[in-house]
A and B are shown apart, each in its own frame.
Chain A
């Protein structure tokens, strides 16, 4: 009896094992298909649709778009062929030119695209620092005249007016 039960169990385990062997490749395939799609999406977000819509390649949703459909198919092929994302992107550049990149590559003249805004902001900052320094130096050099600050009626009047304005003067 006990042997019969053990025999049943053995058969069940064998069946389960067999089932797992059959299902496992499907599971692995489903998972790798999902990973493949995620990779296509990840790389596709670095590329632009060139139909004129200015949208990210994998976000272009124009029906019958003459560019995004074929380009996404090319991208899928490139992703299948190359393990490296960079190589897949290079394949897309070879096919469609650098214009397919959603952002200019940080090399050569295109480096200017990335650096110029920050250089301009830094230049502005330096300019403001120079202006502030010049203004505060002039202020520091200005002679102090008359009565101490709080005893000067003109100063007090100015303070009073400004407080009034600050707390609710006319707009």
Chain B
């Protein structure tokens, strides 16, 4: 099976090389037959790599420990689900997985966009170029099909098959880790598609916004997957790592967050190009930077240039990635310098108070956040290079720098949609902002009266109320117009409104999700924690909760041995639940893991961690946290994804307006032209 897998990777590499080279020649010589063969070669990569993936999965499921990658990341008693997920738990497998996802994107792009003239073939060539880089790594640098060997006493090497594998890292043996890497990779790799079309359009001096129309959905899909991947990673950190938080500003977390920020900026600024033919240079570079940051994220994970809790898969392939990054950047810069004439804006800004300028500020804030994260991530390396001494940049730095930036972004989330394209009059500004501002301020004041003193939390809650009112008013106004036109119920009118322009109203749903997430994040200002050594029958008081240790037991499963505590949780006289935190020792890898238990509620989570055992007394030590509003973060994330799905759904044209309503429509036209 390993030979078939290796052969499939080599075949995919050859096919990809053909697709790349034949595509370039076809483009230069305008050779239609060669172009068609290059396209077919590009399509074939996906099924070929699927064979390689199936082989690797087969090797894991059949416990083929003669293969080094399988022996290092699996063992006989590993549950089926984790044997399946073990494929992307290490360097070699995750890079093959990356290649496979990329080939899948290429497959669909080449089949879907047949009608895009020369743009699609050239984009296909660029995608094949990216694919080629990863396939070279898969085939020659970090092959997952390498056979284990040992050196015999006579100095020769011979195959070696261990009795059992070393097992999967216990931190990865969690249901979410089955889905977190694939979703994150779907996001990372997905940005290759808009990158390829943007670069192809630049090379071809493709007129207009064709590349943006082609890639809009691809960008949203990639962004949606990246969002989901980041959220799953945060939830995994919360539920597995046991430090009570979900975001630690770890370099690899930052690496996934940076392309998310630039991708978000692109999704906003692209509207400027579509509607007004503006910001063409900006958009092209946003796509380039987003893709480069995706590769940079992989570079950070793999190179070990910065230390990280995600050091599951470090190896000296960092220079391959740095070389690839430099090459891609040089190609982008070269074609930009040669073709920038075609990127001139078609329109100019008419007023500072307009939707256009709000997009500009939104982009500035998103890029400032991205830069702050990048700067903080790389500063230890920069500082060491300049001063010779190493400094650390941890959560206090990122929180202090980024919280003000994100609050500003939250404000813009509410302000932007209320500004009209081209020009906004003071009158409409007053009309649109009075209620949201009053309600936002009242929320902040009310919370202050009820004892909230953290300035950032007050601002976050006040701004969340402000943005929520602006979003609700947008839906209300739109639905009211439809109701007046059609006489439908509010529910029907709202549905009709969303279906008429799914992209716009899906975007508002995303904004609302961000608000809900902001509320959840602001809750972290009020967390409480306590650590206590407990005996059976003793009780720990924390916030509104009383946690009593009822039992302490030891046991084993085929995969690990464990020590389990049974804790009864009460709130006042009410018995809430029983929690069972564990300390485990995985037998194959001999690695320990602590299983966190969480009692989650709308108001707060009670988060309990079995911190250890006092070596002198032998008594268990419990660390408990009360984390307010965490559930809102996950629900907000779900709303963001729902909004993305709505925005992806094809919108339909508005229903014909009844003749009797035309007069009213004309009134609106006149009001609009006056600047209201």
**Given A103-B396, A120-B371, A159-B669, CB of A109 within 8 Å of CB of B387:** yes
Q: Is there contact, CB below 8 Å, between A52 and B311?
A: yes
* Distance between Cα atoms of A101 and B379 in the complex (Å): 14
Q: Kindly identify which residue among B248, B364, B375, B665 contacts A117, using a CB–CB cutoff of 8 Å.
A: B375
> Per-position contact with B for A117-159: 1 when CB-CB < 8 Å, else 0?
1101100110010011001101100000000011000011001
Selecting from A9-17, A20-28, A55-63, A78-86, the interface stretch reads A55-63
* Interface residue? A30 (CB, 8 A): no
* Distance between Cα atoms of A117 and B377 in the complex (Å): 12
* Interface residue? A170 (CB, 8 A): yes
Q: Is there contact, CB below 8 Å, between B309 and A55?
A: yes
* Distance between Cα atoms of A60 and B43 in the complex (Å): 48
* Interface residue? B368 (CB, 8 A): yes
**Given A63-B594, A114-B401, A136-B350, CB of A55 within 8 Å of CB of B390:** no
Give chain A interface residues in 84-112, CB to chain B under 8 Å. 97-105, 108-110
Whole-angstrom distance between the Cβ of B507 and the nearest chain A Cβ: 10
Q: Is there contact, CB below 8 Å, between B594 and A170?
A: no
Question: Which residues of A are found within 8 Å of B360, using beta-carbon distances?
Answer: 128, 131-132
Whole-angstrom distance between the Cβ of B526 and the nearest chain A Cβ: 16
Q: Kindly identify which residue among A55, A104, A128, A156 contacts B364, using a CB–CB cutoff of 8 Å.
A: A128
* Interface residue? B3 (CB, 8 A): no
Q: Is there contact, CB below 8 Å, between B609 and A61?
A: yes
Question: Which residues of A are found within 8 Å of B500, using beta-carbon distances?
Answer: 167-169
> Per-position contact with A for B239-273: 1 when CB-CB < 8 Å, else 0?
00111110011110000000000000000000000
* Interface residue? B394 (CB, 8 A): yes
Selecting from B150-158, B631-639, B647-655, the interface stretch reads B647-655
Closest to B647 in A: A171
**Given A97-B389, A128-B360, CB of A102 within 8 Å of CB of B397:** yes
Q: Is there contact, CB below 8 Å, between B376 and A59?
A: no
Question: Which residues of B are found within 8 Å of A159, using beta-carbon distances?
Answer: 669, 672-673
* Interface residue? B501 (CB, 8 A): yes
* Interface residue? B400 (CB, 8 A): yes
* Interface residue? A48 (CB, 8 A): yes
Q: Is there contact, CB below 8 Å, between B248 and A103?
A: no
* Distance between Cα atoms of A92 and B397 in the complex (Å): 19
Whole-angstrom distance between the Cβ of A163 and the nearest chain B Cβ: 6
Q: Kindly identify which residue among A54, A120, A150, A155 contacts B394, using a CB–CB cutoff of 8 Å.
A: A54
Q: Is there contact, CB below 8 Å, between B592 and A136?
A: no
Q: Kindly identify which residue among B308, B351, B392, B669 contacts A99, using a CB–CB cutoff of 8 Å.
A: B392
Give chain A interface residues in 22-66, CB to chain B under 8 Å. 45-46, 48, 50, 52-56, 59-61, 63-64
Q: Is there contact, CB below 8 Å, between A113 and B368?
A: no
Give chain B interface residues in 54-80, CB to chain A under 8 Å. none
**Given A54-B307, A110-B391, A139-B349, CB of A121 within 8 Å of CB of B405:** yes
Question: Which residues of A are found within 8 Å of B654, using beta-carbon distances?
Answer: 164, 167-169
Q: Is there contact, CB below 8 Å, between B243 and A163?
A: no
Q: Is there contact, CB below 8 Å, between B309 and A53?
A: yes
Q: Is there contact, CB below 8 Å, between B307 and A171?
A: no
> Per-position contact with A for B570-608: 1 when CB-CB < 8 Å, else 0?
000000000000010000000010100000000000000
Whole-angstrom distance between the Cβ of B369 and the nearest chain A Cβ: 9
Give chain B interface residues in 448-497, CB to chain A under 8 Å. 478, 481, 497
Whole-angstrom distance between the Cβ of A76 and the nearest chain B Cβ: 14
Question: Which residues of B are found within 8 Å of A128, using beta-carbon distances?
Answer: 357, 360-361, 364
**Given A64-B592, A132-B360, CB of A56 within 8 Å of CB of B395:** yes
Q: How many residues of B contact A (CB 8 A)?
A: 74
Q: Is there contact, CB below 8 Å, between A163 and B665?
A: yes
Give chain B interface residues in 381-422, CB to chain A under 8 Å. 383, 386-387, 389-397, 400-401, 405, 421
**Given A102-B397, A117-B371, CB of A136 within 8 Å of CB of B349:** yes
* Distance between Cα atoms of A59 and B524 in the complex (Å): 15
Q: Is there contact, CB below 8 Å, between A171 and B504?
A: yes
* Interface residue? B120 (CB, 8 A): no
Give chain B interface residues in 283-322, CB to chain A under 8 Å. 307-309, 311
Q: Kindly identify which residue among B349, B367, B391, B504 contacts A98, using a CB–CB cutoff of 8 Å.
A: B391
**Given A55-B309, A61-B594, A139-B348, CB of A104 within 8 Å of CB of B391:** yes
* Interface residue? A160 (CB, 8 A): yes
* Interface residue? B612 (CB, 8 A): yes
**Given A63-B612, A102-B396, A110-B391, CB of A135 within 8 Å of CB of B502:** no
Question: Which residues of B are found within 8 Å of A50, using beta-carbon distances?
Answer: 392
Question: Which residues of B are found within 8 Å of A114, using beta-carbon distances?
Answer: 397, 401
Closest to B364 in A: A124
* Distance between Cα atoms of A9 and B386 in the complex (Å): 77
Whole-angstrom distance between the Cβ of B405 and the nearest chain A Cβ: 7
* Interface residue? A162 (CB, 8 A): yes
* Interface residue? B180 (CB, 8 A): no
* Interface residue? B372 (CB, 8 A): yes
Question: Which residues of B are found within 8 Å of A139, using beta-carbon distances?
Answer: 348-350
Q: Is there contact, CB below 8 Å, between B673 and A149?
A: yes
* Interface residue? B514 (CB, 8 A): no
Q: Is there contact, CB below 8 Å, between A171 and B501?
A: yes
Question: Which residues of B are found within 8 Å of A171, using beta-carbon distances?
Answer: 501-504, 647, 650-651
Q: Is there contact, CB below 8 Å, between B387 and A108?
A: yes
Closest to A129 in B: B352
Question: Which residues of B are found within 8 Å of A170, using beta-carbon distances?
Answer: 651-653
**Given A109-B383, A125-B364, A171-B503, CB of A48 within 8 Å of CB of B392:** yes
Q: Is there contact, CB below 8 Å, between B673 and A150?
A: yes
Closest to B352 in A: A132
Whole-angstrom distance between the Cβ of B219 and the nearest chain A Cβ: 13
* Interface residue? B30 (CB, 8 A): no
Q: Kindly identify which residue among B242, B368, B665 contacts A124, using a CB–CB cutoff of 8 Å.
A: B368
Question: Which residues of A are found within 8 Å of B673, using beta-carbon distances?
Answer: 149-150, 155-156, 159
**Given A55-B248, A162-B421, CB of A132 within 8 Å of CB of B349:** yes
Closest to B216 in A: A171
Closest to B670 in A: A150
Q: Is there contact, CB below 8 Å, between A63 and B592?
A: yes
Closest to B351 in A: A136
Q: Is there contact, CB below 8 Å, between B309 and A54?
A: yes
Question: Which residues of B are found within 8 Å of A61, using beta-carbon distances?
Answer: 241-243, 594, 609, 611, 623
Whole-angstrom distance between the Cβ of B281 and the nearest chain A Cβ: 11
Closest to A102 in B: B394
* Distance between Cα atoms of A163 and B349 in the complex (Å): 19
Q: Is there contact, CB below 8 Å, between A168 and B386?
A: no
**Given A61-B242, A99-B391, A113-B379, CB of A167 within 8 Å of CB of B368:** no
Q: Is there contact, CB below 8 Å, between A55 and B243?
A: yes
Question: Which residues of B are found within 8 Å of A164, using beta-carbon distances?
Answer: 654
Q: Kindly identify which residue among A52, A64, A105 contacts B307, using a CB–CB cutoff of 8 Å.
A: A52
Question: Which residues of B are found within 8 Å of A116, using beta-carbon distances?
Answer: 375
* Distance between Cα atoms of A81 and B457 in the complex (Å): 36
Q: What would be 28 A-B contacts, judged by CB atoms less than 8 Å apart?
A: A45-B396, A54-B250, A54-B251, A54-B308, A55-B248, A61-B241, A63-B583, A102-B395, A103-B396, A103-B400, A104-B397, A105-B391, A109-B387, A116-B375, A117-B371, A117-B405, A120-B372, A121-B372, A128-B357, A128-B364, A132-B349, A138-B348, A139-B348, A150-B670, A162-B672, A164-B654, A167-B481, A169-B653
Extra pairs beyond A54-B309, A102-B396 (10, CB < 8 Å): A48-B392, A52-B308, A104-B379, A113-B397, A121-B405, A128-B360, A132-B360, A159-B669, A163-B669, A171-B650
- Top-10 shortest CB links A-B: A168-B500, A171-B503, A171-B651, A117-B372, A102-B394, A121-B368, A135-B349, A103-B397, A168-B654, A135-B348
